[in-house]
Chain A
Amino acid sequence: MAKTKGKSGPLARRPDNSAFKQQRLPAWSPMLTANTVLPFFYLMALICLLLGVWLLLTVQSTQEMKLDYTEAGACSKCFEKRKNVSNAAQACSCTVVFSTEKAFKGDVFFYYGLRNFHQNLRRYMKSKDDGQMLGRRMNLKNPTSYCEPYARDPNGLPIAPCGAVANSIFNDSFILKYHGAGVAARRVPLLRTGITWYTDKNIKFRNPSTENQTLAEAFEGTTKPPYWRSPVYELDVRDPLNNGFINEDLIVWMREAAFPNFKKLYGVLDRAEEPFTSGLPAGSYSIDISYNFPVQYFRGRKEVVLTTLTWFGGQNHFLPIAYLITSGLIFLLAVVLTVVWWKFGKDGKNMEA
């Protein structure tokens, strides 16, 4: 292995005297001494404490309202109705009411939530075609085999969008109404666009190129997923630009949740008009639900969530509390270590080799 170098002479094979080859590279040798560890621990305890308190205050400043409407009030009849597959085509709507004691200040976000719905099953997640959703003609007509059995309908027409994910899209719709004091019920305006990641809306999902065609023509030769009521180019009847693969509800749905309990953004409060310019005022509200999505098959629950946000995101108490607990833990350990060091290690007596 020793390389023969171009050198000659009596010391031709002498190894080089480089710090690397002689393993003498300058280095920093840290050691866990009391001088470093103990201050570090106390400092960390302090940092975690401060972070925890700060986060807790932040989270406390948000407001959240959750409403499980699966079988709530009038919806129980729809719940019963959806138990039977044969009724799938029949519409069913119900209304749930609730009231808030405090106003929701600032931007208010409207979510729908599902429990026990496994969007994270491997076969389920694979059952889609990113190429198709990118509007590629080839993939549009020839969906990947991963989409089976939702790749083609019994006539052999390709399904767009194909696969189990798109097929199982959450198709309840909500109308939130505000029953202000002495005022007639008034629809709360929700922005139904701008609820997706920019990258999803603009890059990941694209309609097939239309080139002087209507969207419907672009999708010609494909068929809708079996559970859908309307084809993909008619998902949003009010906003023609929100149709096809770039329909935002579809995009939101296609971003599969990591866990079986999840919530997805439905709309954002449009704060253009009074009395919603500063958020949702306190008072009673009702939600008209077009109850379509069946959950009883998988013993799921459905809910709506209204929440305000901070820089920290939604109302999740875990991090603040975890930081506080961690802070306490570190402090406790720091004290133990200090005692141990004081008793055993201070004089370095047991360090004599």
Chain B
Amino acid sequence: MSFFGLDCVRKKEREQERKLRANDREYNLPFRYATNAIKTSKYNFFSFLPLNLFEQFQRIANAYFLFLLVLQVIPQISSLSWFTTVVPLVLVLSVTAAKDATDDINRHRSDNQVNNRKVQVLIDRKLRSEKWMDIQVGDIIKLENNQFVTADLLLLSSSEPLNLVYIETAELDGETNLKVRQALPVTGDLGGDMEKLADFNGEVRCEPPNNRLDRFTGTLTYAGQKYPLDNEKILLRGCTLRNTEWCFGLVLFAGPETKLMQNCGRTTFKRTSIDRLMNVLVLCIFGFLAFMCTILAIGNYFWELHKGTEFTIFLPRPDGNDAAFSAFLTFWSYVIILNTVVPISLYVSVEIIRLGNSFYIEWDRKMYYARNDTPAEARTTTLNEELGQIKYVFSDKTGTLTQNIMTFNKCSINGKSYGDVYDYTGQRLEITEHTETVDFSFNPLADPRFMFHDHALVEAVKLENPEVHAFFRLLALCHTVMAEEKTEGELLYQAQSPDEGALVTAARNFGFVFRSRTPDSISIVEMGKQRSYELLAILDFNNVRKRMSVIVRSPEGKLSLYCKGADTIIYERLHQSCSKLMDVTTEHLNEFAGEGLRTLVLAYKDLDEEYFNQWKQRHHEASTTLEDREDKLDQLYEEIEKDLLLLGATAIEDKLQDGVPQTIEQLSKADIKIWVLTGDKQETAENIGYSCNLLREEMNEVFIISANSLEDVRQELRNARTCMKPAAAENSVFLPERILGKGVKVVADDVVNGEYGLVINGHSLAYALESSVEQEFLNTACMCKAVICCRVTPLQKAQVVELVKKYKQAVTLAIGDGANDVSMIKAAHIGVGISGQEGMQAVLSSDYSFAQFRFLQRLLLVHGRWSYLRMCKFLRYFFYKNFTFTFVHFWYAFFCGFSAQTVYDQWFITLYNLMYTALPVLGMSLFDQDVNDVWSFQHPQLYVPGQLNLYFSKKAFFKCALHSCYSSLVLFFIPYAAMYNTVRDDGKDVADYQSFALLTQTCLLFAVSIQLGFEMSYWTVVNTFFVLGSLAMYFAVTFAMYSDGMFLMLPSAFPFIGTARNSLNQTNVWLTIFLTSILCILPVVTYRFLMVHLCPTINDKVMFKVRQAKAMPPPPPRRARIRRTSSRRSGYAFSHAQGYGDLVTSGRFLRRPAVSRSSGFAHGRPTTGFSPMGRSAGYSPTGRPQNTKTPDVEVTSLQMYRSIRDPAL
């Protein structure tokens, strides 16, 4: 255990090659490989104080105050007592240290949690349950299904045939499909035999630890034989075992040396733009401070030269001090006095405000998702105000915008549309949770979660309408789904795309139950009758064909081809006899597309035995040729898939998360641009774009960029630009060259008339992101209202975000739920994770997390806006109050011979920022709101000032400084003139230094308190208490410190004895305070009033409205989903990948013998307490009851290959 966490220092020399022997800890020990314990915490008990202090003093502000402290102990320079700096500094350091300590304790806790996970290890020929941290290199461990892989393992054997294991690598690379790993046959033979495994003494030589996830080289020496090892035999830490009962693995890399940990780069420290601006300002202030001090030092030089010399008779100079040296000392003395322009409390207060606003986010009930008990979480507390400045939102699609639940919603069979519910007047009804669902009890094999609302379809099935039967038979036959039946009647479908799952499930419920398949047969239960179809061929799906077909022979011996695919493609291949039906179906398809449904067209044809045999012959030949196999197969497919007979069309809803369209509409009203970055296919993405209101039919044009070369992409982008803004196209020709020479330049937004959308494909995006085109891409994309990038890789997601960050001076937010969004979440200024779903990767790397996409609008439009507003108000006011405070010293210098005499009492200087003004300003920055949340939603435009940095900028800062300058002039010269040669009403002194100090500081406190009152637009009881309390506290503390007792205790620390009593009972003192207060606020009120009336901001306008309404705004009108019946586009979308047809026919996945299906299906299925989500849970990726969390099994989302789990399992 390292004591000071500096174990990196004494790291042994780099490992060249790793050598290890299985089951031999003694052999492996001398190499000192890392154990499986991980450590992400920074400190331990002893190292905390020195390390933390060291880190804290690396911050410029803290170092600066340390430097001041050093200056203050030099007696010649010290113009302020040391306590004025020590008190705040200690306070700041301890608050920060406390925060760091709690953070680190949390890290310790999570480390412990991971380190203490249990896994079975083979020790002394027996399996023992051990903690993860005790695993060592060379151990053999047993993993079970759904367990996390403990360390980087060499796969030895598994429960599955051919020693296969299935793993999910989402946490590593973000790819969500299952991957297959296969053990060496020689180790696979060990099987699960404990004895054999314990005797296994293979030696592995492999590469040293590295972070390449896709590569592994090594050799295994076992029984005198050498075997090469590659990545296919390695299980990496962070993966999850799936669909595999158990497997054994040999630990190669453990703990910090695993590829996962090697890949955990330090998360970059995110800072807000206000932070950056503040840093610039603080530097400017330092410059300004130096400037003021220089002026004063020069002043001191001349004063000493002329007057000081004359005054030496009363105040001799210490030996050797001449005017120049005195000026030098004065410079530093003034550095100390004027240091309050950058008060240390600024940083503390900023942190407190951010923390407070983070708590508000976590406390918000309206961002709490009751269904899975997930409140919003602010995982970072330093970015809040940036939430009010978002300009670009990058969103993932699946799981973020959509629930990733496909429901079979509608269909059109033989020219009749099913799926809508009409009332008795023939009016179409909106389908809600309360709409009556169809009863599928006639079918014992029906999936209870499937819902359908149109009774007509069931009636048609029951009436044995032949087209309807054919329709569902097609759905039950033409797919690549696999069924698992663990117990009788409980079907578990494994589909590679959720669309297919939904279709097959629909067929299942309507009485055409897909039961099982072998490589050459498909068993279905048709209306209760068991039938087995001979599967003759699968004409697989691909992106060009956009269709798939199966050729089957029915039990009666009839040969048929069933085909489903995109409407455009199928329509070309239909027999002309269907033309009438085509027209009707087209109408239905348009209707479906208009509703944002994903459509597929179904068709079939009966085949002639002779023709098919001949075709099959050719097919066999083609599939065995070596050259042009694809082309030849395509031709063959083309040949047989023609003259099809149209059956109908299906419409599947990719269920959106609740409130997505409304949220997107709100955000776009707030001038936030939304880019959807999805791994899905173009059609799917486009479809979702329409259904969630991102793309609209009314848009002038939606450009699609899908070119395959650099030049073509450039040309397509350019065409799009020309189309949007003819004038802009010309200069774009020169644009890239001009800018490339100059390095990075911020690109301004182009203003475009009309609304445009842009859809860009993954391969085009790869070109568009190249440096020569990226500007073109960015310009074009930013001219569009909506941008959808499809088929993007996780890396590309990050690249797109980086691109926008690079050229646009805009704040970006990325929102996603999956591991593939991690890169983008980390890259964006703010990352938001959707929590409560599967997989925690996105949440863990995010800055904020909540359960539903729709909470984003509340996060941005309410919390973000308020945070930004509050932070800006805080900064403006804070700089004002400190500048005012400090400038008074500057004016006084001209009267006290530039001798660095302070205007105020030292205690006042110490406590001004800590006590007298801290709470009121904090109160404002924690409670202030211009208008409440309801109005914020009502007027999303209120968000725009944040994007434009209107509330706090260099200009605003400069205004603050000017304002303070004015205030400080008033605050110094009015008391000066009022007290000049004045005496008390009994003739005694009141113009002495101490009384003047008291008067000025009282004036100052009143002035800044009243100013605060004008800044505040939301006076709660707490604010009032803080403001009045602070003033009361000022008087209490002042009187206490100027009291006899304090003086007698420490005469030199409290020399102001009696000043308060003797001075504050004077009328003219109070009249002076009154006058300064009036003069300080007068210009503010006038200016504000004029601004409100002459050029009101959006805030003024809305606040005015609120005043007029005096109550809550009317609830926003419930917008019924607009149904568009005419559509120009195809609703085809099918998230399917190529190649599964081969898998199905090859039998590789058919690993479990199907349950014997001899017995009937009479018994009903067990009912569960599961209540489906929403309207339909016909297809749920997490087919498990909500809220019951099985501790160790964390299901991760699978996009490519999903299993439909039955809740009863």
Contacts and interface: CB of A to CB of B under 8 A. Distances in A.
A16 interface: yes
A149 B316 contact: yes
B373 A314 contact: no
Interface string B1073-1098: 00100110010011011101110101
A37 B1089 contact: yes
Interface stretch (A239-247, A259-267, A280-288): A259-267
Contact of B1072 (A121, A261, A319, A351): A319
Interface stretch (B132-140, B175-183, B727-735, B975-983): B975-983
A255 B980 contact: no
B989 A252 contact: yes
Contact of A310 (B899, B985, B1020): B985
B1066 interface: yes
Contacts of A76: none
B1089 A203 contact: no
A122 B899 contact: yes
A316 B987 contact: no
Interface stretch (B374-382, B546-554, B654-662, B799-807): B374-382
B1075 A319 contact: yes
Nearest to A133: B1051
Contacts of B307: 116, 118, 298
Given A109-B983, A168-B314, A351 B1104 contact: yes
A259 B1000 CA distance: 14
A212 interface: no
B987 A199 contact: no
B896 A330 contact: no
Nearest to B314: A168
B934 to A, nearest CB: 10
Given A2-B377, A313-B983, A345-B1093, A265 B989 contact: yes
A326 interface: yes
Nearest to A341: B1093
Contacts of A124: 314-315, 899
A72 interface: no
Contacts of A148: 318
A164 interface: yes
Contacts of A256: 992-994
Contacts of B1021: 25-26
Contacts of A313: 982-985, 990, 1066-1068
Contact of A130 (B360, B1052, B1088): B1052
Interface string B887-925: 000000001110111000000000000000000000000
Nearest to A343: B1093
Contact of A16 (B363, B990, B1085): B363
A91 interface: no
A210 interface: no
Contact of B1075 (A85, A309, A326, A336): A326
A353 B939 contact: yes
Interface in A305-353: 309-314, 316, 318-319, 322-323, 326, 329-330, 333, 336-337, 340-341, 344-345, 348, 350-353
Interface stretch (B56-64, B743-751, B1053-1061): B1053-1061
B978 A316 contact: yes
Interface residues of B, number: 109
A258 B363 contact: no
B1047 interface: yes
Nearest to A23: B360
Interface string A191-212: 0000111111001100000000
A258 B996 contact: yes
A322 B974 contact: yes
A131 B1054 CA distance: 11
B1095 to A, nearest CB: 8
B1103 interface: yes
A350 B368 CA distance: 39
Contact of A123 (B899, B996, B1086): B899
- The B contact surface, by secondary structure, is helix
Interface in B344-375: 358-360, 362-366, 368, 370, 373-375
Contacts of B375: 2, 13-15
Contact of B1078 (A48, A85, A131, A352): A48
A23 B929 contact: yes
B333 A27 contact: no
Interface stretch (A28-36, A93-101, A177-185, A270-278): A28-36
A69 to B, nearest CB: 17
Q: What bracket does the count of chain A residues touching chain B fall in?
A: 35 or more
Contacts of B985: 309-313
A323 B978 CA distance: 11
A329 B1078 CA distance: 11
B1118 interface: no
Nearest to A350: B1096
A262 B996 CA distance: 13
Contacts of B997: 258
Interface in B1087-1118: 1088-1090, 1092-1094, 1096, 1098, 1100-1108
A130 B1055 contact: yes
B463 to A, nearest CB: 44
B983 A340 contact: no
A256 B315 CA distance: 14
B310 interface: yes
B1022 interface: yes
Name which of A41, A55, A125, A299 has the most chain B CB atoms within 10 A of its CB: A125
Contact of A30 (B364, B1019, B1066): B1019
Contact of A27 (B368, B991, B1019, B1096): B1019
Nearest to B1066: A313
B295 interface: no
A337 B1090 contact: yes
B497 to A, nearest CB: 33
B316 to A, nearest CB: 6
Given A25-B1021, A259-B976, A107 B1096 contact: no
Contact of A203 (B941, B994, B1058, B1078): B1058
B897 A268 contact: no
A59 B989 CA distance: 18
A51 interface: yes
A348 B1104 contact: yes
A353 B315 contact: no
A21 B360 contact: yes
A326 B1052 contact: no
Contacts of A323: 1071, 1075
A297 B181 CA distance: 98
A142 interface: no
A82 B377 CA distance: 80
Contact of A1 (B318, B377, B1094): B377
A21 B363 contact: yes
B232 interface: no
A32 to B, nearest CB: 5
A109 B990 CA distance: 14
User: Nearest 9 CB-CB pairs, A to B?
Assistant: A199-B1058, A258-B996, A345-B1093, A21-B363, A353-B1101, A130-B1051, A109-B987, A168-B314, A122-B899
5 contacts: A30-B1017, A122-B333, A130-B1051, A204-B1058, A313-B985
Interface of A: 1-2, 10-17, 21-34, 37, 40-41, 44, 48, 51, 55, 85, 107, 109, 111, 113, 116, 118-125, 127, 129-131, 134, 136, 144-145, 148-149, 164, 167-168, 195-200, 203-204, 252, 255-265, 268, 294, 297-299, 309-314, 316, 318-319, 322-323, 326, 329-330, 333, 336-337, 340-341, 344-345, 348, 350-353
Interface of B: 75, 79, 307, 310-311, 313-316, 318, 333, 358-360, 362-366, 368, 370, 373-375, 377-378, 381, 866, 895-897, 899-901, 927, 929, 932-933, 939, 941, 974, 976-997, 1017-1023, 1044, 1047-1048, 1051-1052, 1055, 1057-1058, 1061-1062, 1066-1068, 1071-1072, 1075, 1078-1079, 1082, 1085-1086, 1088-1090, 1092-1094, 1096, 1098, 1100-1108, 1187
